[in-house]
Structure 1
């Protein structure tokens, strides 16, 4: 059974990532409005009825803005740690709030979702690996460093959403105040293009079919910089740069890199828009 993945939005204006099989799906974060999430999924041919849960990585607003509405409207359980919930202002029915713990898989139908801790300037931040029939997809954004946990899980995945937040030169020479530059580039901030590329070059598994580079900074990065940096090293891995303005297309992830192709545009999992 394949996994189908798409970025519905990726950036400081909102983050939302879709991972699912033929029968059920989860959202990792819901940082855009419920209406916009529904609209983008419809354009992609993805049914909101297949979404069975939302997993929350941390409490920053660009990851939680749409959670209350989408959870209440569609009766979706929200998997969130107690510490993250304590720092959120979410209006969710109590029975829809479900705690999770790191390194303990949660079953959502035939999807296994495992959280692992990460370094970021939030209270209790986590990244996730979604698995179905031995096909694994990681969502690894908002990380300050590529720690052992990140490396361990990245090496096992057939596809990954990986942060490539800033170009080091643009950040260093840009208009941000010094304290903000230090926060972004520090060990609890965000991952640079160079750091993301080093992780890819050093720890990419031979079977990784898709890499979706995510959470690009509006002011300190450009999609073309990321594309040009990764393209010469792509090999058999399809490189996609997620947009902060619209959804990517849906990609089918199988257990073999020989089948690493987007779904046909006439298929229910396809998308009608360009990447940018």
Structure 2
């Protein structure tokens, strides 16, 4: 059985970009790093842009699109984006490379099926995604104001997932953010707290989920050790990994039957 190879190139308000692929093709979910930084981090992981066949955009906030124009133009990559997101993004993209998303309609990239679905976030037309082959399903669930039936349903299908755990409720309340920003973050259209993410994990985790990548952690209102410890207590057989805002994760080989350990650079041969 083939594996899907996954990595977070960066995860946080300073930039978001996630790689999911097989031996033949791959996609990027969001392009919040510069083109140069995206290429640099992929090279360090032994990943090649030649395998990347498309970029999927979740919403128009700058930490998800700031590298998109150059990345798409340089590598002639099609961009899958909702019409609402494109209208509000202020992007200058080659029209021939723009493909519109429709929630609930999978996009097939070789053997990969990328399925967009609507989520709660303070953006024009925000989507989350699953990426799957016939055996393995990967979820990319960040920038979510609250858990909805869409999210719960897709989460239960995943063998691995990037799940937002943005803030600790106490750290946010006592922190330096002004009231209006705190209200935006926790108001149902902003971000998931550690507790909300943990509740989803404990109530909807499928028995086959091998890896959970805790993602989009706030630099000011969260702490990696705190959230890692919180999830480890409930993890059972699921490996808990922090997707950092300061660098890329290793590449993980995820299989529907036997999810693998992270591969180091020396073990990789340009996926």
Q: Which TM-score band (shorter chain)?
A: over 0.9
For 1:239 and 1:219, how far apart are their aligned partners in 2?
A: 21
Post-superposition CA distance 1:171-207 (Å, at most 9, x none): 0011111111111001111000011111111110000
| Structure 1 residues 199 and 109, CA gap change in structure 2 (3 angstroms) | same
Superposition map of 1:1-80 within 5 A: 1-80=2-81
After superposition, the C-alpha distances for 1:209-248 in whole angstroms (9 at most, x for unaligned) are 1100000001101111111111121111111001101000
Alignment partner of 1:215 is 2:216 = yes
Between the aligned partners of 2:265 and 2:246, the Cα distance in structure 1 is: 21
Alignment of 1:130 onto 2:131: yes
Q: Which runs of 4+ in 1 moved over 4 A?
A: none
Verify the 8 A CA contact 1:30 1:54 in the aligned structure 2.
Answer: yes
Matched with 2:261 is 261
2:160·2:209 contact (CA, 8 Å) conserved in 1? yes
TM-score (norm. length: structure 2): 0.97
Q: 5 Å matches for 1:77-116?
A: 77-116=78-117
1:143 aligned residue: 144
Q: Is the 8 A contact 1:5 1:250 kept in 2?
A: yes
Q: TM-score, normalised by structure 1?
A: 0.95
Matched position secondary structure for 2:262: coil
How big is the shift at 1:91?
A: 1.8
**Cα distance between partner residues in 2 of 1:269 and 1:245:** 24
Measure the CA separation in 2 of the matches of 1:265 and 1:169: 38
Q: Distance in 1 between matches of 2:152 and 2:208?
A: 15
Residues 238, 260 of structure 1: 8 Å contact kept? no
Q: Map of 1:219-258 to 2, 5 A cutoff?
A: 219-256=220-257, 258=258
| Structure 1: runs of 5 or more not aligned | 271-276
Aligned pairs, number:
269
Q: Measure how far apart 1:267 and its partner are.
A: 2.0
Return the offset for 1:269.
6.0
Could you tell me how far apart the structure 1 residues matched to 2:57 and 2:259 are? 30
**In the TM superposition, what is the alpha-carbon distance from 1:75 to its structure 2 partner?**
0.1
Q: Distance in 2 between matches of 1:265 and 1:189?
A: 36
Q: Distance in 2 between the 1:2 and 1:11 partners?
A: 26
The 1:266–1:12 alpha-carbon spacing in structure 2 relative to 1, beyond 3 Å, is: same
User: Over aligned residues, Cα RMSD in angstroms?
Assistant: 1.1
> Residues 147-162 of structure 1: matches in 2 within 5 Å?
147-162=148-163
For the Cα contact (< 8 Å) 2:166–2:217, is it kept in 1?
Answer: yes
- The equivalences for 1:179-190 within 5 A come to 179-190=180-191
Q: Secondary structure in 2 aligned to 1:87?
A: helix
Deviations 1:96-127 (A, max 9, x none): 01101001000011110000000000010000
Q: Are the equivalent residues in 1 in contact too, given 2:251–2:264 (CA < 8 A)?
A: no
The answer to whether the Cα contact below 8 Å between 1:3 and 1:19 also exists between their aligned partners in 2 is yes
How much has 1:264 moved relative to structure 2?
5.3
